[in-house]
Structure 1
Amino acid sequence: MKSIGILGGTFDPPHLGHLIIAEEVRMALKLDEVWFIPSQEPPHKEKAYIGAPHRVEMVNRAIDSNPSFKLNTIEVSRSGKSFTFDTMKLLTNENPDVKFYFIIGADMVEYLPKWNHINDLVDMVKFVGVKRQGYKLNSKFPIIEVDIPLIEISSTNIKERLNNNMTIKYMVPEAVENYIKGKQLYEKR
């Protein structure tokens, strides 16, 4: 049976923190692959700052150098809010020979009780919680904990830096930085 990690998010933009999380979980759990799934419209946030085509392209560029990382556009292919339950139901039906591990940051663990169809979701996937500064991995739901190097990079911080004409070098892969600059994304609106 194949083991695949799922890392979902807006990836607005994708950064080195996302890549570190994916690689650390992949190695710790001996996963065959990690699938990056950009969301169309996340249920817990406002709309993404940048449209899905740009975010998909940035993820593609960010993961290009790692053969164990794959891009899956299942959520951007459908309109409306992207609920994890709907996505995982489709993926598990399409891939009956795969064991899925859904990777979440410690900040999302506390929201699990509010997730759509959480009890059914827990039966479909194994949740993997990665530590994040200022959050604990306490949950009534089963969570596999994976320690990762604490690196405080966030998409919000990157957007703020770009908006203030500050560098994002070493915060995002060079290919992502070049794409952002080339397309003039995240500039003051």
Structure 2
Amino acid sequence: MSAVRRLGIFGGAFDPPHLAHEALAQLAISQYALDELRIVPTGVAWHKSRALTPASHRVAMSKLAFADLPQARIDSRETLRSGATYSIDTLLELRAENPQAELFLLMGEDQLAFFPQWHRFQEILQIATLLVAFRADSMPANAQKDPINQGKIKHSTIHMPASPISATQIRQLCSHSQAIDHLVKPSVARYIAEHRLYLLT
């Protein structure tokens, strides 16, 4: 009897994708023996107050950022939907397409704090196992207020090294024409420069 296929889903704006995103993907694949990891750039993000960079750029940058991970596959389905994008819809589609697979949904601890506000979040818990990334530099501060630690939300943990990288920081550096080579892959940095993304207008 063949082993159950393990399929991970890593959604996000990826605006832009950076080295911490890649590190999380690598750790999830290795720690949980994922056979495949779908990288799913967000379409219309209901929870974002700012407008996202056009999906074509975010998909292209994601292909560059995760190119070295053979298990990673860029899945642009959410960018093709009209209206708000919800994770439950993607999970239901993937379950229908992969009925024998075990699904794992990756998220950061910051997303976890708002998880009970996600659309049909209880259904998500029935479909997929949550893999939540906790950074070493933030565990003590969040240990008491983290709802998972109180047993409210079933999860599995991905332990990550300390990482101060954020997409917001990268966009701010780009807006002032400052170097970002230490925060993103060289290919992503070149793409951002060539397409003049995140510059102040």
TM-score range, shorter-chain basis? over 0.9
Is 2:148 aligned against 1:135?
A: no
Larger Rg: 2
Q: Which runs of 5+ in 2 are unaligned?
A: none
The one of 146, 149, 162 aligned to 2:174: 162
Which residue number in structure 2 is paired with residue 99 of structure 1?
102
TM-score, structure 2 length as denominator?
Answer: 0.90
The superposition leaves residues 16-59 of structure 1 with CA deviations (integer Å, 9 ceiling, x where unpaired) of 01000111111111111211100111221135431000100000
* Percent of pairs with identical residues: 29
**Alpha carbons 1:109, 1:129 under 8 Å: kept:** yes
The one of 179, 182, 185 aligned to 1:173: 185
1:171 deviates by 0.7
4+ long deviations beyond 4 Å: none
Is 2:200 aligned against 1:188?
A: yes
The one of 34, 38, 45 aligned to 2:37: 34
Instruction: Work out the CA distance in 2 between the residues paired with 1:48 and 1:175.
Output: 24
Equivalences, count: 189
The superposition leaves residues 72-98 of structure 1 with CA deviations (integer Å, 9 ceiling, x where unpaired) of 011011122111111111111111021
TM-score, structure 1 length as denominator?
Answer: 0.95
1:102 deviates by 0.3
Give the SS at the match of 2:199.
coil
The residue identity in structure 2 corresponding to 1:96 is: P
1:120 deviates by 1.1
Change (3 A) 1:48 1:35: farther
Instruction: Work out the CA distance in 2 between the residues paired with 1:145 and 1:66.
Output: 21
The one of 64, 74, 78 aligned to 2:77: 74
1:176 deviates by 0.6
1:187 deviates by 0.8
